[in-house]
Amino acid sequence: MVKKLKVAVLMGGKSPEHQISLLTGREIAKNLSPKKYDPLSIIISRNGKSFRLNNKEYLLGQLSTVNCQLFIIAMHGPYGEDGTIQGFLDLIGVPYTGSGVLASALGMDKIYSRKLFTHKGLKVPKYLVLSKDEKQSKVWQHLLPPIFIKPNAQGSSIGASIVKKKKNLKKALNLAFSYGNTTIIEEFLDGIEVTCAILGNSNPKPLPLVEIIPKKEFFDYEAKYNEKLTDEIIPARISKSLTKKAQCVALLAYQTLGCRGFGRVDMIIKGKGVYVLEVNTVPGLTPVSLFPKAAAAAGISYQKLLDKIINLAIEN
């Protein structure tokens, strides 16, 4: 009889994406093969000070006493996707799924990841960094509307908005600054939005491209998690040569940050140019998420996808 692997699914946490993390975590726990795994579900509180396991509350520091062989990280946004929980798990010496501390931190930081992308020759939208204490008039000295405004270190389009008229700038900046002291402001690229899911460590492979067509103004938080608000087409309706180019760009972005296990690269295609927006090191795995849909298009069931993510973590 094959011995089951003891795994703990980490979800929740101190993040605006707490609820989405619970959806991802519960979907993972539900789909783990009972023949291969002995799973535990761990819900970290919204204040980040404690966790719940088997209906009992424990201090977060007691996470090191959990009896498991592998942690599956299903935490999105700050503290779960930015290298914080990864560093803690490195300290206690238990392996975990996905990227390590540095790649996770870089993936969450839009400014520094873009600096690395451009250093590698990848295209990114023209952008400006603005701090809370800087004059807002600086924006129009470098960019023209429409523009996108995003907090530097959030995911799922939390705090993001599009500004089409100069008079709406202050409101958008106030929203972004409510999630941090630094924002990234970028030109609006009117093109085809695609995302590329990637699996692998030293030799990663791209999955089929997903074309994203939001029915709202842009692919915001609501549109990401409500299938009625977005059309997702797999494979993307672009030429084979452009598909290959976008997949190569995605792979280079993934490897530039030093990602491992799995990840998802968001891009805009305008003409023949492929522009990298960001790399998601803990992509959503909810029933409506893009990564499982790309995997399904490649013939990989949700359960097999989890097997691959776990095996890549063990291999690493």
Is pLDDT of 214 > 90? no
The pTM of the full predicted model, rounded to 2 decimals, is 0.91
First-to-last alpha carbon distance for the chain, in angstroms, is 25
CATH topology of domain 5-96: Rossmann fold (3.40.50)
Q: State how far the Cα of 170 lies from the Cα of 139, in Å rounded to an integer.
A: 11
Mean pLDDT score, 288-297: 93
What per-residue confidence (pLDDT) applies to 217?
59
pLDDT in tens, 63-75: 999 999 999 999 9
pLDDT at 268 over 90: yes
Q: What is the CATH number of domain 127-187?
A: 3.30.1490.20
Contact (CB, 8 A) for 313 and 95: yes
- Would the annotation count 109 as a binding residue? no
Give, in order, the Cα–Cα distances in Å from 86 to each of 25, 68, 78: 16, 16, 12
At residue 26, the pLDDT reads 94
Listed residue (273, 272, 284) closest to 20, CA to CA: 284
**Residue of 17, 27, 81, 193 with catalytic role:** 17
Short-list 253, 127, 239, 126, CA closest to 197: 253
How does 250-286 read in b/e, with b if 16+ C-beta sit within 10 Å? bbebbbbbbbbbbbbbbbbbeeeebbbbbbbbbbbbb
Residues 235-251: pLDDT tens digits?
Answer: 999 999 999 999 999 99
What is the side-by-side strand order in the sheet with 161-163? Answer: 127-131, 182-187, 147-151, 161-163
Burial label, 90 (beta-carbon count in 10 A; 0-12, 13-18, 19+): middle
Confidence at residue 159, expressed as pLDDT on a 0 to 100 scale: 81
Residue 17 catalytic? yes
pLDDT digits (tens, 9 = 90+) for 4-60: 999 999 999 998 889 989 999 999 999 999 999 999 999 999 999 999 999 999 999
Local structure of residue 287 (DSSP, 8 states):
T
Domain 105-123+190-315 in this protein, CATH class: alpha beta
Q: Which of 15, 104, 113, 156 is catalytic?
A: 156
The domain ranges of the chain are 5-96, 105-123+190-315, 127-187
Give residue-wise pLDDT tens across range 139-168.
999 998 999 899 887 765 788 888 988 888
Q: What is the DSSP string of 153-195?
A: T--TTTT-EEE-SGGGHHHHHHHHHTT-SEEEEEE---SEEEE
Quick check: 220 pLDDT over 50? no
Burial class of residue 228, CB neighbours in 10 A (0-12, 13-18, 19+): exposed
Confirm whether residue 316 is marked as ligand binding.
Answer: no
Q: Is 280 annotated as a binding residue?
A: yes
Q: Do domains 5-96 and 127-187 have the same CATH topology?
A: no
Take residue 86 and report the two structure tokens written for it: 């990864």
pLDDT at residue 225 tops 70: no
Active site residue 193: no
Annotated catalytic residue 131: no
Crossing angle (nearest 10°) for helices 240-256 and 110-119: 110
What are the φ/ψ torsions at residue 103 (nearest 5 degrees)? -60, -40
